[in-house]
Copies of this chain bind each other. A is one copy, B any other.
Amino acid sequence: MIQGKKVLVVSAHAADYVWRSGGTIAKYIKNGATVKVVVLSYGVRGESNDLWNQEGATAESVKSIRSGETTAAAKILGVSDIEFWDLDDYPMTLTKELEDRMVRTMRAVQPDIIITHDKIDVLNPDHNQVSDFVFRCSIMSNSNGVRIEGTKTTKQMRLFGFEPHQTELSSYVPGSFIDITEAYEQKVAAMQCFKAQGHLIEYYTQRAFLRGNHARRISGNKSYKYAESFANFFPVVGEELY
């Protein structure tokens, strides 16, 4: 049951959460979940290649464009709770202070589910770092002995990893396919906010179709038209075999 679930999404750069989990986010919100998105950086150095080709581009102008794009995309997905940490990227430096801040965030959200980058992205060192950062912060957040004034220890949550761009080279194995048919239009619209990355819009639109095909094939359920896939950080635990 999606209704009432609390979800925390942590995105290294301004558009990662849209390409890789936009459909799932929109679906969750539509069905009554609470979703908070933390965007660690605007991706000014690492993921704005085309914007820098514009005459007179500066770090500030690029950041401003990225910020506008991701804000618009979040709105289309229905995300009302989004936070920008405005870190530098390429490289990204994740200090103890930022660990503390992330633990506070987790304890404020008390998430059932955390979605972030998967462990390996063979083409993006920031993604690997963020994956490890979120994971170790979740361990600390869950630990009763990590005392932070005014916070409440979280219960062990479930963690899921985004698809990296080149899955096979990154040893990515899908653990979960989510049917996003009902949120597909929203995802496509949200992706179109990132005007300077037209090739990725087409790429991730096709990916939704491809994963929909996979989801149908593996489940025998013909109603799944579009899907997103995620890596499972942990086995499924519960009352029955899903």
Considering the complex, give the chain B residue whose CB is closest to the CB of A219. Answer: B237
Known A206-B209, A236-B175, A240-B1: A145·B45 in contact at CB below 8 Å: yes
Partner of A210, one of B174, B179, B206, B239: B206
Partner of A179, one of B177, B224, B234, B238: B238
Number of interface residues of A (CB under 8 A): 84
Within the assembled complex, what's the spacing in Å between the Cα atoms of A50 and B165?
33
Partner of A52, one of B145, B227, B242: B145
Partner of A206, one of B125, B142, B206: B206
Residues of B within 8 Å of A209, CB to CB, are 202-203, 206
Within the assembled complex, what's the spacing in Å between the Cα atoms of A124 and B224?
22
Do A218 and B143 touch (CB < 8 A)?
no
Q: Please give the count of copies of this chain that the complex contains.
A: 6
The chain A residues found within 8 Å of chain B, CB to CB, are 1-2, 5, 24, 28, 43-53, 59, 62, 90-91, 96, 99, 113, 115, 123-125, 135-136, 139-140, 142-147, 155-158, 160, 165-169, 172-179, 199, 202-203, 206-207, 209-210, 213-215, 217-221, 224, 227, 229-230, 232, 234-242
Main secondary structure of the interface of A (DSSP, over half): mixed
Do B213 and A235 touch (CB < 8 A)?
no
